[in-house]
Structure 1
Amino acid sequence: MAAAPSIDQLKERANAIRKLIVRITTEAGSGHPSSSLSATEVVTALYFGGFMNYDPNQPKDPKRDRFILSKGHACPVLYSAMAEAGYFPTEEIMTLRKLGSPYEGHPNMKRLKGIEASTGSLGQGLSIGIGHALASQMDNLGFNVFVMLGDGEMGEGQVWEAISCAAKYKLGNLTAIIDQNGYQQTGATSEVLDLTEFQPKIEAFGWHVQTIEGNDMESVVAALTAAAEVKDRPKAIVSKTRKGYGILEVLEKEGDLNFHGKPLPPDLAEKALALLDS
């Protein structure tokens, strides 16, 4: 069994994924780079930190672990990580959002191997994850399920029904990660619908919950390690992040820290890539 990568190696991988996120969204002329950048540490740790069992050459292995990106608009981080993991050639994801490309603006499981759920209608991913987690237990397959949600998405009632349901069935093979980057499409989540703090609310349903600095790789790895030890109930990680993390210096100069649903124009992308290279 290969040795687990070091924190520095995971940081290097995250940086490579960030560069891809910037490149593919700028090439597309659309997409959600800032929402993807906030989630990069968690997605990197899941795919490359030894927390998920998967084989790009056997994407339908019934015993594979599942990752469901409920905040499907952040698919650039997923496509970039999967390309780095060997699911498909890196150059292919440069066709993001182009006519006829399978790399759509939201994940489509019917067009890409390794995509576990077609997401983007916010609020549904955790329910899908519960279905997978229940199937794992009922069929004695032993796989784990990880679901990433956005903090704006937490305003959907279906999410809280799912939280209640997962606790009822004591789904110890389910981990939900909330990418709490503080913004959604129409503004700051604190102004649209302030549901924070998330931890006591989710704990009240019987979940094991941790709150971490989600752009700190060491904290992410420690939280995923701790969550893996909990087997008797569902787990949640409230991942406090910053939208656009990694290129914040560039976004701050533009005066827009949300930067939701718009790519960096070529001149800004060049500055962002130079910052990541440094």
Structure 2
Amino acid sequence: MSNARVTVLASDHSPSPSSHTGFGIDIGGSGVKGAMVDLRTGEFVGDRHRIPTPQPATPAAVADACAEIVEHFGWTGPVGLTVPGVVRNGVMRSAANIDDSWKGTDLTALFSERLGGRRVSVLNDADAAGIAEHRFGGGADTSEGTVILLTFGTGIGSALIYNGTLIPNTEFGHLEVDGKEAEHQASAKVRDDKGWTLAKWSKKVSKVLHHYEAIFSPELFIVGGGISRKGDQWIPLLTNQTPVVAAKLRNTAGIVGAAIAVDEGLSF
């Protein structure tokens, strides 16, 4: 786990003398998505633009896609970007659902060069979602204590926020629960593969959350990923003690968090 600390509570920072607009790009296994973001509200300014992730998804090919998205908007300012992996000191340390050639890539140098030398911030996609959800979404009313965002998809992504400060690169989905990685027993993919009902799957999620409670004593869990859209059907079935709320920003969270990160000059 990185020792970096990133404050995500609202501040008096202004992105420029004349604008409260930022720009974020969310790089995923199937799509590269970008948008301009109103940094006062967390809402998009105009529509999102999406390009299918190049195949093979090499760093150079994806950087070209990001440049295409920036050019689509005519954006000239700094750019925040998310990646599906651990980022430490600007370097990609792991690669999930993307080409293995990303490992060891200097992301800051790659994207800054490809985007014309502009300032960039590159961070883990779940961490970006955590920043956005804590600022504008499910965690906006929780300013103290530990908040854990979990994204249920192919695996389980995570973001850990303590007293408004992000502690990046947590990767809680890889923690073992009863001898098996959490994401291998409670991800949305596992549910789909096994054909479980939401009721049966919620028991697996409860077991994972009980384990996280025992370790971190959080004030709040925020659950994201596509399955959070059905949160009203399965969140009430959970048996852990900590309150659980569905993520509010959904598919926009990565872009919003990336835009916040670069606007505030955060490095990872």
TM-score by length of 1: 0.29
Kindly indicate which of the two structures has a greater share of residues assigned to helix: 1
TM-score by length of 2: 0.30
Kindly indicate which of the two structures has a greater share of residues assigned to strand: 2
